[in-house]
């Protein structure tokens, strides 16, 4: 499987994607793999210059492909800025203001805190810039500044190990969509074999996207989402996710998540490179756990039990939609802008119940262009159901 997808990859690709197919995701991840740079460096080897991270005094990296410079300039992403603020105890809102309004002051602040403890060590996760042969190193991308004990688990390797686990389970599935952001990777897997009728749950519901009804298409299919963060924004995880056929809304069951935290032993200073044996053992665990997750989350018994749980609260009437949505969004700390969209989807959905609120949350999540925000909102669908039922 690795060779199959690697052959399709190209040398250059964007950093992220929304609702991509598996082939496009692999192309991007292969590019990241080719350009990645993980460096453990002391604070004395780091500095800020014109708002960028400057690395100096690190030995060149020697690989089978040749010798590569590590020293150079790396432009921070918003995620990297958050990590810098956290590690140096600079309020992140202040750091963002300095970046927007006064970059020299940003350099001065960061450099002062780095100089205070020059022996303190960090891991810098970066992507190399594209340089012409013989030219000076191009500006790269600083993806994260994190603990020197962070256990590196790359998206590309985890994806292939997880897909291998799916394949080993023998269960027929499809990858229905992929997202990649500076924070996380999301890969949605759906069963081709486990689809249950849920007429009571979908009774009276109308898709806000195409107008079709749950009475016409009362099916819910089993699935799960594979998630990983390479920059410390969450553990590798597999979370069960049901899909409503009529509108493709996703219901993520976060209470049953299977996860692995990225914490390991401290690394020596310099470029981080795991042995093939260490990587093989780590990825074998992921493959095995994924196969276990498939057997659990894609079983008919599991999906039926979850549907019955949801149905118990979903039929609660919502007599005052505006007040109910206000209560739910305030309870779950959902923004006012998103609240308005949820209310609109609730009304268009025509299901004036707590289940209709749940559907409005998940359909709204589909409309968000930011994949991290969409995943976070989808994860609130079942809490929204509970809050709406209690309010009703």
Residues 338 and 373 both lie in one domain:
yes
Residues 103 and 217 both lie in one domain:
no
CA distance 254 to 241: 9
- Give 109's contacts (C-beta < 8 A, 6+ positions apart): 90, 95, 98
Please give the pLDDT value at position 194: 93
Residues 99 and 184 both lie in one domain:
no
Please give the pLDDT value at position 318: 95
Residues 374 and 387 both lie in one domain:
yes
Please give the pLDDT value at position 131: 62
**Tokens standing for residue 362:** 């998940």
Residues 207 and 256 both lie in one domain:
yes
Query: What single DSSP character describes residue 241?
Result: E
Q: Is residue 356 part of a domain?
A: yes
320-329's contacts with Cβ under 8 Å and 24+ in sequence apart are 321/346, 321/347, 321/352, 323/391, 324/357, 324/388, 324/391, 324/392, 325/357, 325/360, 327/387, 327/388, 327/391, 328/357, 328/361, 328/384, 328/387, 328/388, 328/391
The domain boundary, picked from 128, 146, 164, lies at 146
Strand residue runs (E) in 110-163: 121-127, 140-146
Q: Is residue 33 part of a domain?
A: yes
Return averaged pLDDT per consecutive 10 residues of the chain, 392 residues in all: 34 75 96 90 96 89 62 95 97 98 98 96 91 67 90 88 90 95 96 92 95 95 94 89 95 86 47 61 84 90 94 95 96 96 97 97 97 97 96 80
Q: Is residue 328 part of a domain?
A: yes
Number of domains in the chain: 3
Please give the pLDDT value at position 152: 78
Residues 203 and 297 both lie in one domain:
yes
Q: Is residue 349 part of a domain?
A: yes
The domain boundary, picked from 146, 180, 211, lies at 146
Q: Is residue 248 part of a domain?
A: yes
CA distance 67 to 337: 50
Q: Is the pTM for the entire model greater than 0.75?
A: yes
Residue 144 CA: distances (Å) to CA of 260, 325, 334: 19, 37, 27
- Where do we find the tokens 């600079």? 90
Query: What single DSSP character describes residue 314?
Result: H
Q: Is residue 267 part of a domain?
A: no
Q: Are 239 and 227 in contact (CB under 8 A)?
A: yes
Residues 188 and 255 both lie in one domain:
yes
Q: Is residue 355 part of a domain?
A: yes
Strand residue runs (E) in 13-120: 17-20, 36-42, 46-49, 52-55, 61-63, 66-68, 72-76
Query: For residue 115, how many C-alpha atoms fall within 13 Å in the half-sphere facing its CB?
Result: 8
Residues 121 and 18 both lie in one domain:
yes
Residues 163 and 282 both lie in one domain:
yes
Residues 338 and 351 both lie in one domain:
yes
Residues 103 and 205 both lie in one domain:
no
Q: Is residue 105 part of a domain?
A: yes
- The whole domain housing 323 covers 314-391
Residues 290 and 336 both lie in one domain:
no
């Amino acid at each position: 499987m690795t060779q199959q997808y690697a052959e399709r990859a190209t040398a250059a690709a964007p950093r992220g994607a929304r609702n991509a197919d598996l082939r496009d995701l692999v192309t991007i991840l292969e590019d990241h793999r080719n350009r990645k740079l993980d460096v453990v460096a002391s604070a004395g080897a780091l500095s800020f210059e014109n708002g960028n991270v400057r690395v100096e005094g690190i030995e060149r990296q020697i690989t089978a492909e040749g010798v590569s410079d590590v020293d150079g300039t790396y432009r921070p992403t918003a995620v990297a800025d958050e990590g810098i603020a956290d590690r140096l105890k600079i309020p992140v809102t202040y750091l963002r203001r300095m970046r927007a309004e006064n970059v020299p002051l940003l350099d001065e602040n960061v450099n002062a805190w780095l100089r205070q403890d020059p022996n303190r060590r960090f891991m810098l996760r970066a992507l190399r810039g594209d340089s012409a042969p013989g030219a000076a190193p191009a500006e790269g991308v600083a993806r994260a500044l994190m603990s020197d004990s962070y256990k590196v688990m790359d998206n590309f390797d985890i994806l292939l190990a997880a897909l291998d686990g799916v394949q080993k389970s023998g269960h027929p599935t499809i990858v229905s969509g992929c997202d990649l952001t500076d924070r996380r990777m999301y890969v949605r897997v759906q069963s081709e074999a486990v689809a249950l009728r849920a007429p009571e749950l979908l009774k009276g519901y109308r898709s806000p996207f195409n107008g079709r009804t749950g009475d016409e298409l009362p099916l819910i299919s089993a699935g799960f989402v594979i998630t990983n963060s390479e920059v410390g924004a969450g553990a590798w995880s597999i979370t069960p996710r049901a899909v409503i056929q009529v509108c493709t809304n996703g219901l993520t069951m976060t209470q049953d998540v299977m996860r692995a935290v990225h914490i390991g032993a401290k690394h020596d200073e310099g470029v981080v490179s795991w042995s093939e044996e260490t990587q093989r053992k780590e990825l074998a665990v992921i493959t095995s756990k994924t196969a276990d997750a498939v057997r659990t989350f894609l079983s008919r018994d599991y999906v039926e039990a979850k549907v019955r749980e949801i149905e118990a609260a979903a039929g609660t009437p919502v007599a005052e939609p505006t007040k109910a949505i206000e209560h739910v969004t305030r309870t779950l700390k959902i923004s006012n802008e998103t609240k308005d969209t949820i209310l609109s989807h609730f009304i268009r959905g025509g299901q004036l119940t707590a289940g209709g609120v749940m559907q409005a949350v998940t359909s709204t999540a589909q409309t968000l262009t930011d994949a991290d925000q969409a995943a976070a909102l989808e994860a609130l669908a079942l809490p929204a159901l509970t809050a709406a039922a209690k309010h009703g």
